[in-house]
Structure 1
Amino acid sequence: MADINARKRGKKWEYYFEIAKMDGKRKRISKGGFNTKAEAVSEGVKAMHEYQTAGTVNTPSELSMHDYLNYWIEMYCIPNLKPTTVANYKKYISLHISPKIGKYRLASITAEQLQKLINDMVANGYSKNTVIGIKGVLSNSLNYAVQPLHYLKTSPMAYVKIPKGSRTNYRSSQYKREVIEKDIIDEIFKRFPKGSSTYLPLMFAYHCGMRLGEAFAITWDNVNF
């Protein structure tokens, strides 16, 4: 390991240290302008760490699961996925994953913790789509920690499963169909009047029996006057 050296240049101090040779010639990194030798050495330590880690901002052994997931969102998801997908991932992380395991170190997360998180969500009646979505976020993010980041040797999600025979526990199966009375509909349209972004989808849903997801997806080429 190269030593960090400091020398006085005029009235200021400068740090410097040797780095890898380029074209067979010795190279060094240096920076001056510090008021004291101690200040120069302190900044030199930071500069050497950045050089030795190739500019990597994270130390895997100290990285929390919460911070890692945010890093994964910024480094991989935003450049590669649709904004709606990224938004859903952020929602799963902030509402369901970070509150449960975000405080733990990435390197210490176990399959047992992750399986318990999934089991608890099913037992508490979360919808099938939500459980599948959260499992997907955990699997994809931890696979990325293995490759290409090499933060982990293997993914603790590799053998985590959604419990079989638990369909009756999902919240979606507990919903009962209810008729929305006209006075309630009138209150809804007062809250979302004509001209608001949700007015037309709500009208489609109310008058045509569409699900809201279908109503919001309608485009002009779907309309037959």
Structure 2
Amino acid sequence: MKKYLFPLLTLLLLASCGGNDDPPPAPGGASLVFPEENSECTTGTSVNENLSQVTFEWSASTNTDSYTLSAVNLDTNVPQTISTAATSASLSIAKGTPFSWSVTSRNSKSEQVASSETWLFYNAGTQTSYAPFPAQLVSPISGSTVQKDIANEVLLRWSGADVDNDIDAFQIFFSDQNPPQTEAGSTSASVMELAVSVTSNTVYYWRVITTDSQGNTSDSGVFEFKVF
């Protein structure tokens, strides 16, 4: 009996002293604070006639030891990024320009990351009124393949916003050519979806032009999707 006792004790010790097989905790998503969503940011410190330094702020997220701030110039789609362990960071960004911004949370012990919401804002310039933010195309997701409905249609959905809160209309351009030049329809400021006719095994392209009451416009850029 004794000859079995030592191996059994050894196994018990190994089991009790062994490493924890639980995966490291994934980081949580940060909550954005400033610049506020769909706002005009007027607190930037002027760097020169073209740039001002804006301090971005967010709330701490769980299981996080670093954050990556990304601010995207919506006129050029060029991002600026900076990493920090703090819950704020400053970037020098173009004046009088629309931006989107978001924060990615990271944990050095985990391969997983978490993304915050994405907010839009205008960095203040010399203008007294602003063009609408470029419409954010929601669905179909660009590059996706979708199923048409029983009426051989697909529903296009987007979101729109304006600092001046004076969006007048959305124009939707849709075709199987890139860029789409055919207007599929227009909607009022309160309607942000449109059903379009489609054919199977075809790639389609779409974009939304937003117009405000002063005639200012913005372009969403082109999304594409394929129909089964």
Computing the radius of gyration from Cα coordinates, the structure with the larger value is: 1
Normalising by the smaller structure, the TM-score range is: under 0.3
TM-score of the two chains, using structure 2 as the length reference: 0.21
Higher relative contact order (CA 8 A, sep 6+): 2
Structure whose residues are more often strand by fraction: 2
Give the TM-score, by structure 1 length.
Answer: 0.21
